Amino acid sequence: MFLILISVVAIDQWTKVLAVEHLSGKAPIIYLGGVFQLLYAENPGAFLGMGGDLPRWIRFVVFGLFVLLGLVVMLWSLVKNKMSLTDLLAYSFILAGGIGNVIDRLTHDNGHVIDFMFMDFQLAPFTRTGVFNVADVAIVLGFFIAIYGMVRERINMHQHSVG
């Protein structure tokens, strides 16, 4: 768990430093005909910028302090409670991503998170992402691992109750 936390947070923060150095104030770098782009963005809000128009102090409390408190509770729960390897992986990635983004919120003057990746598959409306970062990827990966674990657990419970 701590290896995931340390690695993800370190990679997230390092890539954000690189984004500031190499992408800020510059045109996007386009790959695969625009499917993937590197571009600099400062997100003062949450997922897809939600809440970005709130006053700075409210964003600090909600996206900084409340999220930090939630992450501390999650870390305590991970250390204290026995859980499956799947759940441990899922929550470790979610926690690591949350830590990476909270570091941004608490260390930037306007409480923003640095984002720098964008994907647009042009297959359907939902295949276009907002601008995101490594921490966001970790959170989404953790979410999908958690869903996988829940589905697998349901299947196992169903097989045991039928068999």
Q: Active-site residue 136, yes or no? A: yes
Q: For residue 30, which amino acid is it?
A: I
Which of 12, 87, 104, 136 is flagged as catalytic?
Answer: 136
State how far the Cα of 19 lies from the Cα of 39, in Å rounded to an integer. 8
Q: Is 109 a catalytic residue?
A: no
Catalytic: which of 12, 87, 104, 115? 115
Question: What does the alpha-carbon distance between residue 73 and residue 95 come to, in Å, rounded to a whole number?
Answer: 10
Q: How far apart are the first and last CA of the chain?
A: 35
Residues with a catalytic annotation lie at 115, 136
